[in-house]
Structure 1
Amino acid sequence: MEYTLDYAAIGKRIRKVRKEQHLTQTELGNRCGVTGAHICHIEAARGKVSLPTLVVIANVLQVSLDELLCDNLVTSKYIYEDELRNLLTHATTKQARLITELARVVLRDEFILRDYEEE
């Protein structure tokens, strides 16, 4: 079984964490021992990030590899739960209500799909 990593998703997660920490690509690159241009390429998925570089980036950003790779992992539900909890913490009451309604729609559609697939 061949599996391809979603490098675009990895890059987006690195960019998200980097921006949350108010780091430029150059600053992150310097801390990781690579160029800012290399970080740019990783974030834009214009190349494949090596495992050693990914580990260094995770350590510099002080996040787990799971957090950077969760879009590629089967058992990453807890990461999404943490993200959702964080979003809800920072949401207004109106936004929280909308997020809840959206979650209900998504879950309802998922159950409908499951029921359809079982027939």
Structure 2
Amino acid sequence: MEYRLDYAAIGRRIRKARKERGLTQARLGDLCGVTGAHIGHIETDNGKLSLSVLVRIANALDVSLDELVCDSLATGKPVYEDELREILAQASTRQVRLITELARVVLRDEFGTGESEEE
């Protein structure tokens, strides 16, 4: 199976991490040795980034590379599990119930059962 980098998803994750840390695009750019405009292009999927810039961004944001590229990894499940925990922690009881039901529907539709393929 061929995997390709999902640059749009990487950009969204960079933006989310940057905002969580209270950094501007210009400040993140300064920390990474690129312009704030380049960070903006990366975040909006209007420009590609090199591996070295990706590593510098990950270091500046204090995140792992797998957190940024998990949409492109076959082994990205732990990152998604962490994201789901964060979502559930912020959700009301009603929202948790709806999310749980949605997960059941997705599993049933995707795999034809109530269980995932890996089980």
Q: Helix, strand or coil for the counterpart of 1:67?
A: helix
Aligned 1:1-119 pairs, distance under 5 A: 3-112=3-112
AA aligned to 2:74 is V
In 1, are the aligned partners of 2:11 and 2:43 still within 8 Å (CA)? Answer: yes
Q: Helix, strand or coil for the counterpart of 2:29?
A: helix
Unaligned 5+ segments in structure 1 are: 114-119
Q: Helix, strand or coil for the counterpart of 2:112?
A: helix
Q: CA deviation at 1:111?
A: 2.1
In 1, are the aligned partners of 2:32 and 2:56 still within 8 Å (CA)? Answer: yes
Cα shift readout 1:4-25 (whole Å, capped 9, x = no counterpart): 3211111111111111222211
In 1, are the aligned partners of 2:3 and 2:72 still within 8 Å (CA)? Answer: no
Count the aligned residue pairs. Answer: 113
Distance 1:104 1:14 in 2: 30
Q: CA deviation at 1:2?
A: 6.3
Unaligned 5+ segments in structure 2 are: 114-119
- Show the counterpart of 1:117: none
AA aligned to 2:7 is Y
Distance 1:2 1:14 in 2: 24
Q: Which is worse superposed, 69-78 or 92-101?
A: 92-101
Distance 1:14 1:109 in 2: 31
Distance 2:22 2:91 in 1: 21
Runs of 4+ in 1 over 2 A off after TM superposition: 1-4
Distance 1:111 1:77 in 2: 17
